[in-house]
A and B are shown apart, each in its own frame.
Chain A
Amino acid sequence: MSAEPRFDELIHAPTRLSIVSLLTATEWAEFKFLRDQVGLTDSALSKQLATLEEAGYVDIRKSFIGKRPRTSVRLSPRGQQAFAGHIAALQQIVARSGLAVIPESAQP
């Protein structure tokens, strides 16, 4: 079932789009993984995650592995829904323009 197209300005901001794109492919992701992949400082990533958490798009879990603290992040069902709508909106914009010539399934 495809999602209703709904452009989401919160997700579309470049840094948050990168974060949510990583999260949408994961069951959970470590804070450090997100930080390293997106290339943010701890505080900058915390700020972005706080924004997403306020919108109800991510769940943040803090735990300990031995004595080491570990922060894990996952996309909430609401975040998944918003992301699916955002992707549908982007695809609709591209389809209307006839810009995309490569079908999604054929892209690497």
Chain B
Amino acid sequence: MPEGEVMEIPPIDAELALAEVRARRAEVVDANLVPGWFWPSIGVLMLLFVAAVETGRPWLVAAGSVAYALGLATLIAALLRRSRVQVRNTLIGAHGAAAIVVFTLVLVGLGVGLGLALAALGVPAPATIACLPVAAGLAFGGPALMTYLRRVMLARPLAGPR
């Protein structure tokens, strides 16, 4: 067929083919999203670790650190085990990347800012208390971020920017 010429197939077949492409993209995106259980798990782990460190008791700090390291390693290993595909970076795009950066900065800013403020006010266990909204932000915000990223990735043009 000469270059640039479009072979004529029935329009319904073309539409069905495009629907297939969209459905397959959704499968890839869904296989890539961080699962819901990850977010509260990481929040609880972080909270326990900060609380253990803040006690200042050496044995508790040591136990908390070991538990945190083991827990984190287990979570990451579980994530990697289910990862059989890597979504194309261009699908996430600038909006998706910005959402991830903003999500991270908000949680870090919230935790550090609240912790410093509580410490300045002389509140006991400021880091642990400051970690509570961060853990909640991870538990609830993580799935919301995934929902947003899914929408962004599925809305990209089918042929996609390269």
Contacts and interface: CB of A to CB of B under 8 A. Distances in A.
**Most B-side CB within 10 Å, residue of A5, A24, A80:** A24
Contacts of A33: 31, 84-85
B132 to A, nearest CB: 36
Interface residues of B, number: 40
A6 to B, nearest CB: 7
Contacts of A93: 6, 8-9, 11, 14
In which size bucket is the chain A interface? 35 or more
Interface string A1-32: 01111110100101001100110111111101
B89 interface: yes
A4 to B, nearest CB: 6
A94 B15 contact: yes
Residue of A4, A18, A90, A91 contacting most chain B CB atoms (<10 Å): A90
B4 A25 contact: no
Given A25-B29, A94-B14, A4 B4 contact: yes
Interface in A66-108: 77, 80, 83-84, 87-94, 96-97, 99-100, 104-105, 107-108
Contacts of B154: 107-108
Q: Which of B8, B29, B158 has the most CB of A within 10 A?
A: B158
Contacts of B24: 18, 21-22, 25, 37
